[in-house]
Structure 1
Amino acid sequence: MFEQLFHSINQKISLPAQELERIKPFFIPKKLRKRQYLLQEGDVCKYTTFVEKGALRSYSLHEKGNEHVIQFALEGWWVGDMYSFLTGEPSMYNIDALEDAELLLLTPAANEAMLAAVPAMEKYFRLLLQNNMIAMQRRLVASLSLSAEEKYTRLVNSYPDIIQRVPQHMIASYLGITPETLSRIRKQMSTTR
């Protein structure tokens, strides 16, 4: 159950096998069925979650019922509402499973205890945070400056798995375009190949 997590850790830092074994008890394994919620808007985010298997999405609902997809999380990715997780305030987001999923949940208390027991994990999480900040900045700049075609092309090139595993209307929401625009872009791309 920890294969993806250990792979993720070893991509960022060098952690001996005995240290990897020491972190296992801090995580809570959980299975989620397709369409089942991990977090609902208004609830406090009690876990930061690592995806061992499956696909999840984080999204907000607006007054007209429109979904705005904030993040997809496939194997090897972390997902959660960090603001709610760190402050204990209610979340503005929903997180649900797009596929059956196997997850590793980490509470704030378990996270602190793990960092005390295995200090090298602090560097792992710092590197994750840095990468997340860079990705968020790039996404913000892309959403403000790139055309719909450029945003879609960037997503296809960076995350081809998402295109294969996530419904098109959710991809459109993530890119901030209509499903009709995405359909037109995909049609244009298929005729130019």
Structure 2
Amino acid sequence: MNDSQIFLNIQKHIDLTAEERDWISAVLELRDIPKKERVLEQGQICRKLYFVESGSLRAYNSNKQGKESTIMFAVQDWWITDMYSFVNQKPALLSLETLEDSRLYSLDFLALEQLFTKIPKLERFFRILFQKAYVREQLRVLDAISRTTEDRYARFVAKYPQITSKVTQKQIASYLGVTPEFLSSVKK
């Protein structure tokens, strides 16, 4: 497991000793999840942080009328969770669903807290990830209030080509905050 994709991902930001890798390996859970399965239901407490070894997921919110708004996607070598629920251990605002057969590593909330004590530099790794995620979301909000749908769609396709081939037009439309019909007219 020490040369698996998750450790290559961590290695981008911090170096781990063999002992530290062993500690992490001991608490990681690797699961194969079929397409269209929810690994988290909105309203549940999110107790896991997921790393995508293969496959893809989306995180979305469903309102009282059943309208889904896609908040984020995750593909191979990305991390995903409902950050609000995971950090605060409160009911999830999002559901997480596989878009295709996926292989996921999961890190339990309590195990991760223990790892932070044993491996302080792991906090640095996650701080870097969370900072990058915050910047990405800030730029997304700015795009939403200052760019046309055409621009936002073009930027999405250019920035995330690995996602556009895995998701439906309806899911892209919900991510962009428009109807599938409007997105279809934009694409023409």
TM-score (norm 2): 0.93
Q: Give 3-state SS (helix, strand or coil) of 1:12's partner.
A: coil
Residue correspondence of structure 1 range 16-55 to structure 2 within 5 A: 16-55=17-56
Q: Give 3-state SS (helix, strand or coil) of 1:43's partner.
A: coil
* Contact 2:84–2:93 (8 Å) recurs in 1: no
In structure 2, what is the Cα distance between the partners aligned to 1:67 and 1:122?
33
Does residue 130 of structure 1 match 2:127?
Answer: no
Provide the aligned C-alpha RMSD in A: 1.5
In structure 2, the partner of 1:153 is: 154
The sequence identity of aligned pairs, in percent, is: 37
In structure 2, what is the Cα distance between the partners aligned to 1:43 and 1:76?
25
In structure 2, what is the Cα distance between the partners aligned to 1:17 and 1:155?
39
Could you tell me which amino acid in structure 2 is paired with residue 70 of structure 1? I
Does residue 71 of structure 1 match 2:72?
Answer: yes
Aligned residues: 187
In structure 2, what is the Cα distance between the partners aligned to 1:22 and 1:93?
30
Q: Which runs of 5+ in 2 are unaligned?
A: none
In structure 1, the partner of 2:179 is: 178
Q: 1:128 to 1:64 in 2, by over 3 A?
A: same
Q: Which runs of 5+ in 1 are unaligned?
A: 188-193
* Contact 1:44–1:88 (8 Å) recurs in 2: yes
In structure 1, what is the Cα distance between the partners aligned to 2:162 and 2:39?
22
In structure 2, what is the Cα distance between the partners aligned to 1:19 and 1:44?
28
In structure 1, what is the Cα distance between the partners aligned to 2:146 and 2:172?
18
TM-score (norm 1): 0.90
